[in-house]
Amino acid sequence: MPRAHPDPDALCERLATLSDTGRLRMLRLLEQEELSVGELARSLQFPQSTVSRHLKLLHNGQWIVKRAEGTASLYRLDVQSLDDDARELWSVASKQFRHLPTIRDDDVRLQQVLASRATDSKAFFGRIGGEWDELRRTLFGSNFTAKALLGLLDPNWIVADLGCGTGNAVDLLAPFVRNIIAVDREPAMLDAARKRVADKSNVEFRQGDLLELPMRDHEVDAAVVLLVMHHIAHPAKAVTEIARTLKPGGVLLIVDMVAHDRDSYRHTMGHEHLGFDEKTVHHWCSDSDLTFGRYSRLRTDTTGKGPGLFAATLVKP
């Protein structure tokens, strides 16, 4: 049976609905899973008010279906229920952006949201199981697990925190190792870090740049570089310079953003690079005498607003 003669106004309305990248990202997740407003907000890092506004437009445009479960509304995109024209539009639109780094971040956060459903299930250890994480947070706070794991560090290590900023990592590491060398280019950052760890006697502060570190050859057992590499014009050169300071068998830990497409960060925060993928970290090794250890994407905090993070370890033979 031939299609009805196309309605130009209806076509324009449909195109207008798909003209927003946020709605396209939302539709893509709803094609995979039936989600609530809150789950979409956490997966996309959007305010719930923004999600609700987009959902209303998509529902009015007959792109998504809605059903009630208790007091919650659940939404999904059922591609097979769309008419032929809408299905073709969605097919074309979804192919244009599915490989963007932002989309990969959406997928990671979605899996985190879906995993939390299992944690919240009352079937887990009966009624208390679903509330277990919240109960532990109420009793002990949210950071005790990570702090306790620092006890696995060698207590005889000398560790360098490069680009130490206000001393967050220094404060965490100092109780577990012999000495910390905290390096930063900015005097104001070093002053703030000194105040933060004034009660720690095993921390030494040095002013300097990662491309010309104020450190001796083979001075430290480990070095950490946390959310600094994206500010450095030539990160491979920084890795080579850090390698010089490591003892044989020493480890460099880099934590930074995965590759992303938030180009505004270059202008609003002075980022030189939009994150790094595993291939890039491998190249850093080839330019230095370090060997590649691992590149692991960190578990996403769905309350965060930035790109995903990775942790990479490089080892000096």
Mean pLDDT of 149-166: 95
Does residue 122 have a pLDDT over 50? Answer: no
- The confidence score (pLDDT) of residue 6 equals 54
Among 109-123, 212-226, 263-277, the least confident range: 109-123
Does residue 120 have a pLDDT over 70? Answer: no
Does residue 115 have a pLDDT over 50? Answer: yes
Mean pLDDT of 69-78: 82
Does residue 126 have a pLDDT over 50? Answer: no
Q: How confident is the model at residue 121 (pLDDT cuts 50, 70, 90)?
A: very low
Mean pLDDT of 15-35: 90
Mean pLDDT of 208-232: 97
Mean pLDDT of 231-252: 97
User: Among 112-121, 142-151, 180-189, 298-307, which range has the highest average pLDDT?
Assistant: 180-189
Domains in the chain, CATH or no CATH each: 8-111 (1.10.10.10), 147-315 (3.40.50.150)
Q: How confident is the model at residue 168 (pLDDT cuts 50, 70, 90)?
A: very high
Q: How confident is the model at residue 138 (pLDDT cuts 50, 70, 90)?
A: confident
DSSP collapsed to 3 states, the chain: CCCCCCCHHHHHHHHHHCCCHHHHHHHHHHHHCCEEHHHHHHHHCCCHHHHHHHHHHHHHCCCCEEEEECCEEEEECCHHHCCHHHHHHHHHHHHHHCCCHHHHHHHHHHHHHHHHHHHHCCCCCHHHHCCHHHHHHHHHCCCHHHHHHHHHCCCCCEEEEECCCCCHHHHHHHHHCCEEEEEECCHHHHHHHHHHCCCCCCEEEEECECCECCCCCCCEEEEEEECCHHHCCCHHHHHHHHHHHEEEEEEEEEEEEECCCCCHHHHHCCCCCCCECHHHHHHHHHCCCCEEEEEEECCCCCCCCCCCEEEEEEECC
Mean pLDDT of 247-262: 96
Q: What percentage of the chain has pLDDT greater than the value 90?
A: 59
